[in-house]
Structure 1
Amino acid sequence: MINKKNKSVFLILLISVFIGLVAGFRPSDEGKMDTKPRVIISTDIGGTDDDDFQSMIHFLMYSDRFNTEGLISSPSYGNGKKKDIQDMIDLYAKDCPKLNAHADFPEPDSLRAVCKQGAFGNAPYTGWRSATEGSEWIIQCARKKASQPLWILVWGGLDDVAQALHDAPDIKNKIRVYWIGGPNKKWSVNSYAYIVKNFPDLWFIENNATYRGLFANISPVDEATANQYYDQHIHGSGSMGKRFENYYKGVIKMGDTPSLLYAMDSGLENPGKESWGGSFSKIDYSTRRIVNRNTTSNDSVPVYSIIEWHFKGPVITFPVDSSCFTLEILGQQWPGYYVGKGKYVARYSPKKSETCIYKTTSKIPGFAVQSGQFVVTNHWPGKRSPDDYPLGTTWYSDRPEADLFLGDQQGGRTIYKWRQKFQDDWARRWAWLQ
């Protein structure tokens, strides 16, 4: 028989559980999961953007929270190498004794052992090229007998993930992909197109804009906090803290870190939940537009969509799927491909709302120059079209609700709302290195 006192205690516990479910479990040290997720990080660290160095330091400072099975250098653009990851681990090794006084961190050599070199440069039109040390490691880890899936956190291009899926389609149901897309979609548009076409039922989070909630400043307070964080919490904090100042003068960007924050949380199979790493909605199509003519300012495409120019030209003796012309958009150059029988194709994915002017050039005799413009609208995935890639039931992306936009960044507020908690939690770990 339950007395009134016990009923009251039971009611309080029930309310507490309900609040916890509504608010979502947070990836703080106080709320960490019992089972560490299996993770592989695929990063273009050492490329043109230093935020991967910042995110790698953050990962190493929270590496006690993961079963790390791989750290892959996948520089779809730039000159990143496996050594860039290993250099960060060398800093971590110096700080490890202090970190281990607070939690059980992995040995530096165990992390060095799973560093692998992935693809250099983006994939051709087919979306895949040849196996790499990184893609083969993904396959090997995915095929392990395990009670939980392998989480692949992609901080750059999808080239090694696409290669692994091409070479071993059987791993599809054994992996979960959280991808920081947006600009990275532009750099690996061919590997993305291969995956979305051939593996539409892959479990996939496509974070094109939500991640910006971690560092986008929408008020003077945000900007002041970002500028002061290094001096207040990082300065003087071990070897990793000393190196951190080299990247953006210590101002936090870390656009890839939301993937870590999501993987540290509970309920990983539910992307719609509240999480420091963002909240996401299912999408059942990925936007594509096929263009067979020169477009004008009257033509529009959604942001983060894939645009394909298909046109005819001279029949040439040229290896199929080889780059033979250049598509120039907003001062950047992208490869175009010959696909046989006088047919030519180029792909592009815009990363923000703007008007894009383009032209094509080639040294092929008789190649007709293509030129035009188009307008990018700021909503993903935008209006449907017959060219779209259909998706299964486990593809997720940025929340579309108007009140969740952070400025012009779709879904950004689902991370921005937790930014102070994230910063405070990280500050406690920096204090361990003082």
Structure 2
Amino acid sequence: MRSRDVAQATSLRYLAATIPASRRPTPLFNALFVALALIGLASIALADSSTLSASDQPRVIVTSDGEIDDECSLVRFLLYANEFVVEGIITSSSQYHAHGHNWAGDDWAQPYLEAYAKVYPNLVKHDPRYPKPELLQSRTLLGNVKSEGEMDEVTPGSQRIVEVLLDSPDTRPVWLQAWGGTNTIARALKTIEEQHPEKMAEVAKKIRFYFIWEQDETYQTYIRPNWGKFDIPTIISDQFLAFAYENQRQAVPQEVQHYFSASWMNQHLRDRGPLVALYKAHDDGRFRSEGDSPAFLHVIPNGLRSEESPDWGGWGGRFVKVRSNTWLDPVAEPGYEYPAGRWYTGSAWGRQRVKQEIPNDEVLTAYLRPQWRWIDAIQNDFAARADWCVKEFKDANHSPVVSIDGALSREVTPGEAVKLSASATDPDGDRLTFRWWQYSEADSAKATVTIAGIDSANDASFVVPDEPGKQVHIILEVTDNGTPSLVGYQRVVCNIKGN
């Protein structure tokens, strides 16, 4: 086959392997699917793979105030657009940015979309699921931007959110992300309340909120009072500080700071085409900020399953439930009481700690660990996708595809020896190493388990602790030896049965 056919066939096998076992088609269909890929009938197979994969992709709507770190986050987001159904990219205001106040412009996102269009022909060589530039353009709209918290006006952006939420045949969750204020989201929900009150409960079942702080008051003044009764899962992050501005120098360990350094950034992001060229690092190439990226990193289907519950943890951080279906950052301070109102620059624990400017602040470092613990893998994955903008499939690296033998969530019994077995393939034929580890922060069980065969693909095991009703989370990391080195994951959740 031609090299492009090989790349497409490899991508098809990659897509098939990433579909959860419980949701895969029949064995006969799988056999036909792989056969089509192997003989290079890409035009037929791609149509099937797109249909199959779309049902498993998270639906996301981004709202952003266009701050410089939002611009950096948008570059990364577009490189991950193959992982989502991008339902909207909406410009909104915030307490920091609005018309007449540090405004980036109503069309600030356009240069990035135009650059995406230029690299799109190369990106689809690596994954045919990348959305067409015309589709992204049609879904990039202006929301409520005239002032901080303005939600009186119905805007194209707010109406796009309404349209997606009222799409009755599609019941998949919609992740509404606020990189800036929540006012455009609030306007959309108010429109639904005013025009379709009978559909509020149905709509609420779809919604998942991920906010980077509360950057205006509309969540507290409108969304929570009027929609709180529906218990919409809501994450409000302060851990993003590990990705924001100079905080990584103050609170991120030295070995992790390497991935923000000018030398690392220049090595992996320079000369990677017109989209990555727009990435606004500091003049020397050093990382500036991507405070909003955790909002979409949280829902990338990388095998960590963080989207299933905010306290499970993953690339977008880990959170604890502080009130009905509202999840904030874990604060270890004894006797700490979370604020009843906004979680933002004026109240969030991490922000208040940063202001104290404590040298070598190990407490702050521990607080941000749920986010920075993944930064090496996150940055290497970003670097690989930057390569996809300019390199052929055979010259770039792609993540290992990992599959667990048996159920991902299991009922286990105290004292039982749980066998852990998996397989993995690498799209590039790289050598793979396996590592099983207990994600104790995500556990409700208190015990530390000893995993025998931690580096074995199919001969690892542990003994279930005597803690009925609790959970143990086991992560499998499979790392390749490509450049940059990439990681594939799976998580096994063990629910301990009662006696």
TM-score (norm 2): 0.53
Displacement after TM superposition at 1:409 (Å): 7.1
Q: 40, 62, 82: which one pairs with 2:61?
A: 40
Partner of 2:469: none
Distance 2:322 2:54 in 1: 28
8 Å Cα contact 1:272-1:281 kept in structure 2: yes
Local SS of the residue matching 2:320 = strand
Deviations 1:29-48 (A, max 9, x none): xxx99711111111111xxx
- Map residues 4-43 of structure 1 onto 2, 5 A cutoff: 35-43=56-64
Report the residue type matching 2:122 in the other structure.
K
Local SS of the residue matching 1:109 = helix
Displacement after TM superposition at 1:252 (Å): 4.5
Q: 190, 196, 200: which one pairs with 2:224?
A: 196
Distance 1:233 1:377, change over 3 A: closer
Partner of 1:241: 276
Q: 88, 93, 101: which one pairs with 1:70?
A: 88
Distance 1:423 1:348 in 2: 26
Q: 287, 310, 319: which one pairs with 1:280?
A: 319
Displacement after TM superposition at 1:431 (Å): 1.9
Q: 238, 246, 251: which one pairs with 1:209?
A: 238
Report the residue type matching 1:42 in the other structure.
T
Structure 1 unpaired stretches of 5+:
1-16, 18-31, 288-300, 308-346, 355-375, 380-404
Q: Are residue 261 (structure 1) and residue 297 (structure 2) matched?
A: yes
Partner of 1:139: 162
8 Å Cα contact 2:120-2:389 kept in structure 1: no
Displacement after TM superposition at 1:177 (Å): 1.1
Displacement after TM superposition at 1:406 (Å): 7.0
Displacement after TM superposition at 1:103 (Å): 0.6
Partner of 1:326: none
Report the residue type matching 1:138 in the other structure.
I
8 Å Cα contact 1:72-1:115 kept in structure 2: yes
Partner of 2:45: none
- Percent identical among aligned pairs is 24
Q: 211, 214, 224: which one pairs with 1:179?
A: 211
Partner of 1:293: none
TM-score (norm 1): 0.61
- Map residues 72-151 of structure 1 onto 2, 5 A cutoff: 72-76=90-94, 77=97, 78-104=102-128, 105-122=130-147, 128-144=151-167, 145-151=169-175
8 Å Cα contact 2:235-2:310 kept in structure 1: no
Local SS of the residue matching 2:127 = coil
Distance 1:352 1:176, change over 3 A: closer
8 Å Cα contact 2:299-2:306 kept in structure 1: no
Report the residue type matching 2:291 in the other structure.
G
- Please identify which structure carries the higher helix content: 2
Distance 1:377 1:36, change over 3 A: closer
Partner of 1:154: 178
Distance 1:248 1:303 in 2: 39
Q: 187, 203, 223: which one pairs with 2:257?
A: 223
Displacement after TM superposition at 1:229 (Å): 2.7
Deviations 1:232-268 (A, max 9, x none): 2001111122221466754142111111111113352
Distance 2:212 2:294 in 1: 8
Distance 2:241 2:344 in 1: 21
Report the residue type matching 1:175 in the other structure.
I
Distance 1:205 1:191, change over 3 A: closer
Report the residue type matching 2:388 in the other structure.
W
Distance 2:119 2:170 in 1: 31
Q: How many residues align?
A: 297
Partner of 2:3: none
Distance 1:37 1:240 in 2: 23
Deviations 1:330-368 (A, max 9, x none): xxxxxxxxxxxxxxxxx99615669xxxxxxxxxxxxxx
Distance 1:248 1:176 in 2: 37
Local SS of the residue matching 1:283 = strand
Report the residue type matching 1:86 in the other structure.
Q
Distance 1:122 1:408 in 2: 33
Partner of 2:442: none
Displacement after TM superposition at 1:210 (Å): 1.6
Distance 1:428 1:304, change over 3 A: farther
Report the residue type matching 1:350 in the other structure.
G
Distance 1:406 1:113 in 2: 46
Distance 1:418 1:267, change over 3 A: closer
Displacement after TM superposition at 1:84 (Å): 1.3
- Map residues 326-341 of structure 1 onto 2, 5 A cutoff: none
- Please identify which structure carries the higher strand content: 1
Partner of 2:421: none
Displacement after TM superposition at 1:129 (Å): 1.7
